[in-house]
Amino acid sequence: MKVGKIAIIGAGNMGGAIVNGLLKSGYVEASSIAIADPRKQTLEKFSAQGVNTFQDNSQAVETADLVILAVKPYHIEKVIDGLKPALNPQKIIVSIAAGVNLSDLTKLIGEEYRIFRVMPNTAISLQESMTCISGNGNSEESLAVVKELFDHLGATVVINEELMAAATVLASCGTAFALRYVRAAMQGGVEMGFGAEMAQFITAQTVKGAVQLIMNTGHHPEREIDKVTTPRGITITGINEMEHKGFSSSVIQGLIASFNKIERG
Ligand SMILES: NC(=O)C1=CN([C@@H]2O[C@H](COP(=O)(O)OP(=O)(O)OC[C@H]3O[C@@H](n4cnc5c(N)ncnc54)[C@H](O)[C@@H]3O)[C@@H](O)[C@H]2O)C=CC1
Ligand SMILES: O=C(O)[C@@H]1CCC=N1
């Protein structure tokens, strides 16, 4: 079921990326999107594209059917308090704030509201997000609305809220983790003789192809790795050296450190 008008509160990295993805998708018209941020300059590029822009959050949500809260977690309480008089339970509420759980959102907004926690990533600007969704269970119908919206902005999965911290680390922080691999490989490429631009192009296309190998076939990564690692060959020498230096262990420990950071607040 298609959403009507959308209001986005916060025009930073994620709020802006959501607008860009929505405009690219053509799923909703620019005139059906409103975005609010106290920083006027941040809003200019959106009004130039026909999006309704506001410095007042309440004005932005006035005609909205669905409100996306895209402010920092430490601004959520203040933003909801300010918005409360302009909200009503007909409006679906979506929060993308990391670490802010549904029970806190429900306490702040109201038991009668349909509230969703949604965790996208920055590739939402290209309709390539991995977006994890969980809701307070107040309406199956509105879950379909929220899922359909984010389906137009990448892939979605509906998960139990208890997995939302893990989803945040794997899918949202994951963009940065993956790009650190790309950057490290580029640095190696430059040391071996490529210019930085060429090293980036070769690395990025290689990573894209590797990911497609597992996405298109459903194969376990090791099955594709086995095809590359010639016995006594070059690749296994490199992989084993990476593992001696703690590659997999570093990645896992980094993920768990991020996970613990969410849990601790
Ligand atoms: N950056 C990322 O990759 C991801 C971020 N998130 C979550 O998205 C939320 C936003 O993060 P970012 O976009 O990275 O932060 P950001 O700092 O880039 O954007 C936040 C925006 O909110 C605006 N803002 C501040 N006070 C406001 C108020 N009272 N009313 C309206 N707007 C206000 C700021 O001016 C800023 O433009 C956070 O809660 C974060 O946990 C979720 C998934 C991925
Ligand atoms: O690092 C952060 O806190 C945010 C949440 C997920 C991605 N970035």
Which tokens sit at 172?
């949202």
SS3 166: helix
Q: Is 18 in the pocket of ligand 1 (CB under 6 A)?
A: no
Give me the pLDDT at residue 229, please.
98
Position 129 confidence tier, pLDDT thresholds 50, 70, 90: very high
Would the CB of 227 count as within 6 Å of ligand 1?
Answer: no
Would you call 174 helix, strand, or coil by DSSP?
helix
Nearest atom in ligand 2 to 175's CA: 7
What pLDDT is attached to residue 97? 98
How many structural domains is the chain composed of?
2
Instruction: Give the 3-state secondary structure of residue 130.
Output: strand
pLDDT score at 115: 98
Which residue range forms the structural domain that includes residue 86? 6-159
Ligand with an atom nearest the CA of residue 69: 1
207-218: string of b/e by CB count within 10 Å (b at 16+)? eeeeeebeeeee
Residues 22 and 42 in one domain: yes
Residue with tokens 């969410």: 262
Tens digits of residue pLDDT in 59-103: 999 999 999 999 999 999 999 999 999 999 999 999 999 999 999
With a cut of 0.95, is the ipTM above it? yes
What integer is the mean pLDDT of 144-169?
98
Please tell me whether 231 is known to bind a ligand: no
User: Of 102, 128, 159, at which residue does a domain stop?
Assistant: 159
The torsion angle over the Cα atoms of residues 179, 39, 24 and 118, rounded to 10 degrees, is: 60
Report pLDDT digits (tens) over 170-224: 999 999 999 999 999 999 999 999 999 999 999 999 999 999 999 999 999 999 9
CATH number at residue 100: 3.40.50.720
pLDDT tens digits along 12-69? 999 999 999 999 999 999 999 999 999 999 999 999 999 999 999 999 999 999 999 9
pTM of the model: 0.97
**pLDDT over 90 at 265, yes or no:** no
Whose CA is closest to atom 22 on ligand 1?
10
Q: Is 204 in the same domain as 243? A: yes
**Beta bridge partners of residue 54, listed in sequence order:** 36
Q: Dihedrals φ, ψ of 148, to 5°?
A: -60, -40
